[in-house]
Chain A
Amino acid sequence: MKRIQYILFAICILSIWSCKPEEFPPIGEAQNVVKSIQGTWGLTKVTQIDQDATTKGFPYKQLDITSVYPYTDLVVAFMGDAQGNPSTFTITSGNSPKIADLTTGNWAVDDVKAPTTISLKNGTITNSLSIGSYVSLKSGKLLIKRDKKLNGKVILSYQYEFTKK
């Protein structure tokens, strides 16, 4: 009986002695979203979302309209300057319907570290687009959403999925 007590005591001591703080591996460099957005992107999917139907819990909330017209012709290029800041953009529609009022101009983001909105500007015209998940950027997908509002309430959205070229 005493021997068992000694063994248990030894196990406890060994267990406590073996505990030591574990070092976490480095989390890596923070993702530079603005830099990730820069480049040439081809439109691969367009989804129309009836936000009003979504709010009311109605059926028929969204529709994939990619194949209705040649949306996949559309190519967007977001350029950056030497410091990696947003500079100019071009939208080449081809035979695709327009996704914004502008085809060229400058682009900017609302927050350099964690952007949620891309603003396309040319003269007095500004188009605002929402940026989707950052995770998809790592896999070469850029999700952009354009909202249409009525008195501040989003009624209709278009979600554009781009693939890096």
Chain B
Amino acid sequence: MNSLKSKQIMKKILLLIICCFGTIWASGQGKVTFSPATFTSEDEVTITLDVTGTPLEGANDVYIWAFSNDGVGGGKDASTNGQWGASSPNAKFTKTATNIFTFKFTGTILFGQSPAELINFGFLGKSIDGSKQTPDYKPFKFDPLVFTPGQFRLFPAKLDNTDMATVYFHQNLATDINLQRMTNIKVDLSFYNEAGSVVGSKQGIATVKESAILFSYSFIPDRVITVPAGTKLGKFTYQFSGTVKDAGGLDVQANGPVIEVVYTVFN
């Protein structure tokens, strides 16, 4: 009995230590905010970088080193980068307070790429000679300027955790042969709190057949799951699924990809 108790205490201590290290690690990463919070590649954006807890803490001069399309191909260095050992004066952040720096840019100008080419970007803050730097901050997505039809769609494109969401499956745009042939189409929903833990899920929800090639489901989170008092939902995922016939004519399960939607915080 005593051994069980001490094991539980040890577990709690371990969890506390992990939490402490997590907090220390997070505080050492600096903080980035954007104004406006969402932007296209043609919008003028102001990055506010807080270098507290990074190797640049206390610095007076911080330079941006930016790059586009991280992890998706077709990336370029920002035109203002200069050399790693000698940053361009155009890359200099404006110091607005101790450890707080801002940098204004427009994606298409900074990277010399068209809106169609720009998907995301990342950056870090550095000293002029590159001897000190912050971690990479990436990837930050540009809002699309051109509508691209896809097999899955959300309406509205930006919403918070109290809004009605409608998820769509355009079967005629499906790229996977099983999804193209899938029948008896249902959707699975999972909701997560701001820490990323699952708050509730509902599987196998019947979709609305809007036409022969379009299926949808509309919902407000608290009508699908019970959201505990004080819990704030941070995101949800949806996954369309159905059945296809195998070679023997039997129904087998077919699943689409899990799509994640992060809730916008309106202000």
Contacts and interface: CB of A to CB of B under 8 A. Distances in A.
Interface string B116-149: 0000000000000000000000000001010100
B223 A151 contact: no
Contacts of A49: 156
Contacts of B267: 149-151
B164 A68 contact: yes
B34 to A, nearest CB: 9
The range of chain A's interface size is 20 to 34
B84 to A, nearest CB: 34
Contacts of A56: 145, 147
A69 B156 contact: no
A151 B43 CA distance: 14
B266 A52 contact: no
Given A69-B223, A150-B38, A156 B156 contact: yes
B264 interface: yes
A151 B218 contact: no
Contact of B157 (A50, A68, A97): A50
B155 interface: yes
B158 A48 contact: no
A151 B36 contact: yes
A65 interface: yes
B157 to A, nearest CB: 6
Interface SS majority for chain A: mixed
B36 A150 contact: yes
A53 B156 contact: yes
A63 interface: yes
Interface centre among A60, A69, A97, A149 (most CB of B within 10 A): A60
Nearest to B166: A63
Contacts of B159: 156
B220 interface: yes
Contacts of B156: 48-50, 52-53, 63, 155-156
A68 B167 CA distance: 13
Contacts of A52: 143, 156-158
28 contacts: A48-B156, A49-B156, A50-B155, A50-B156, A50-B157, A52-B156, A52-B157, A52-B158, A53-B147, A56-B145, A58-B147, A60-B153, A65-B218, A68-B164, A68-B219, A69-B220, A149-B266, A149-B267, A150-B36, A150-B37, A150-B266, A150-B267, A151-B35, A151-B36, A153-B36, A155-B158, A156-B156, A156-B159
Given A48-B164, A149-B267, 4 more contacts: A48-B155, A53-B156, A53-B157, A148-B266
